[in-house]
Amino acid sequence: MKRIGVLTSGGDAPGMNAAVRAVVRCGLDRGMEVYGIQRGYEGLIEGAIKEMDMSSVGDILHRGGTILRTARSERFKTEEGQKHALNVLSAFGIEGLVVIGGDGSLRGGLELSQRGITVMGLPGTIDNDLGYTDYTIGFDTAVNTVLSAVTNIRDTSSSHERATVIEVMGRHCGDIALYAGLTGGADNILVPEMPFDINKVCKKIIQGKNRGKMHDIIMKAEGVGVDAKELAQMVEERTGKETRVVILAYLQRGGSPTAKDRMLASQTASKAVELLYDDEDSKAIGICGSEIVAYDLEEALSIKRPFDTDLYHLADVLSK
Ligand code: ADP
Ligand code: F6P
């Protein structure tokens, strides 16, 4: 394979730039031509494509966001949009594509691969919601960003003897809440994978109050079916504890990627280029333990992500 393309799609994630850099530099190292596609599938349909060289990915390793920019494309979800995208790839002579994005983006990649182009998928999302990989690019940075916020909030929460509901991202996957909650010492962690029980939440707050606990952190993933403000009100009414709300939202999606995310991005991107160079079929690349793994793309997307109930119970024990 001589000419390959790379795009970032869906919600951005810290480490996407490190992945783009590695795709370009590993591709050039193997004598390939690498084309950067702007704004995900939307830019692909529009033909917003430029050849990349060593210096077009210079000085981006440490930056959050994505220099290729990203988009959600409704047009691409249609058969017409996908056929158009394939025509554009063929017009540019692009024989293989690296897609960096979450579940939706990789499903888009699968559609393309079923129409004849080789696609290598890299897990680029803060959500950590892909079943075939232990971790996704951006997750570690997002968890550390949330952790830093929790640390600050604990200070003021203790001073005022308040409870604070902190809402973090995760529509279907509670991993950000779980990891940042456990490492930040949250008293309650609410995730979409576990049933929400207001009585359990309040019981724990009252228990804490009775043993002289100053602060209470309720870490809630956005996908839990209760509004953060309503939750704070319920807690206040039932426990008598003044309760505030912090919704971290997009703060979690930006920032300089951690070493772990840069490493995951660089290693998975290098693997993607190697597989394209070797003319392998479409794959999803991720990490299992400390090993970089590649699964058949369709098979990878059929793997359901298991929720780590052991970690969830450990967090509960540690915050009793
Ligand atoms: P993420 O990749 O972060 O999960 P989205 O779910 O929004 O983000 O997906 C990003 C883009 O991928 C969508 O805007 C769409 O263009 C494309 N996409 C998502 N799901 C599919 C699908 N089932 N088939 C084809 N394309 C899809
Ligand atoms: O990237 C995934 C994610 O961060 C989700 O956790 C969140 O619900 C969603 O993206 C919001 O993204 P946007 O508002 O950009 O569509």
Contacts of 123 (CB under 8 A, 6+ apart): 102, 106, 130, 133, 135, 136, 137, 268, 284, 285, 286
Q: Is 52 annotated as a binding residue?
A: no
In the chain, DSSP finds a helix count (H) and a strand count (E) of 11, 11
Regarding the beta carbon of 168 and ligand 2, being less than 6 Å apart is answered no
Which atom number of ligand 1 is nearest to the Cα of residue 106?
2
Closest CA to 106 of 32, 153, 62, 40: 40
CA 306/CA 308 separation, integer angstroms: 6
Regarding the beta carbon of 109 and ligand 2, being less than 6 Å apart is answered no
Residue by residue, pLDDT tens for the chain (320 residues) are 899 999 999 999 999 999 999 999 999 999 999 999 999 999 999 999 999 999 999 999 999 999 999 999 999 999 999 999 999 999 999 999 999 999 999 999 999 999 999 999 999 999 999 999 999 999 999 999 999 999 999 999 999 999 999 999 999 999 999 999 999 999 999 999 999 999 999 999 999 989 888 889 999 999 999 999 999 999 999 999 999 999 999 999 999 999 999 999 999 999 999 999 999 999 999 999 999 999 999 999 999 999 999 999 999 999 98
Closest CA to 281 of 257, 299, 302: 299
Contacts of 155 (CB under 8 A, 6+ apart): none
Strand 283-288, strand 291-296: pairing = antiparallel
Which atom number of ligand 2 is nearest to the Cα of residue 72?
16
**Strand order of the sheet with strand 243-247?**
188-190, 216-221, 163-168, 243-247
247 is written with which tokens? 């919704």
Sign of the CA dihedral running 104, 109, 114, 115: positive
Regarding the beta carbon of 12 and ligand 1, being less than 6 Å apart is answered no
Beta-bridged to residue 164, according to DSSP, are 217, 244
Give 46 Cα–ligand 1 centroid separation in angstroms: 17
Give 295 Cα–ligand 1 centroid separation in angstroms: 19
Mutate to test the pocket of ligand 2, among 69, 103, 145, 169 (most ligand atoms within 8 A of CB): 169
Residues in the chain: 320
pLDDT at residue 215, as a whole number: 84
Q: What are phi and psi of 255, to 5 degrees?
A: 105, 160
Give 129 Cα–ligand 2 centroid separation in angstroms: 12
pLDDT at residue 213, as a whole number: 86
pLDDT at residue 214, as a whole number: 85
**310 is annotated as an active-site residue:** no
Please tell me the residue having the least CA distance from ligand 1 atom 25.
Answer: 108
- Which of 12, 29, 59, 127 is catalytic? The answer is 127
Q: Which amino acid is at 63?
A: R
288: left (phi over 0), alpha (psi -120 to 50) or beta: beta
H-assigned helices in the chain = 16-29, 40-46, 79-91, 103-114, 139-159, 175-184, 198-210, 228-239, 259-277, 297-302, 309-318
Regarding the beta carbon of 249 and ligand 2, being less than 6 Å apart is answered no
- Measured over all CA atoms, what is the biggest interatomic distance in the chain, rounded to whole angstroms? 70
Q: What is the DSSP letter of 124?
A: B
pLDDT at residue 1, as a whole number: 81
pLDDT at residue 72, as a whole number: 97
Looking at all shown ligands, the one closest to residue 8's CA atom is 1
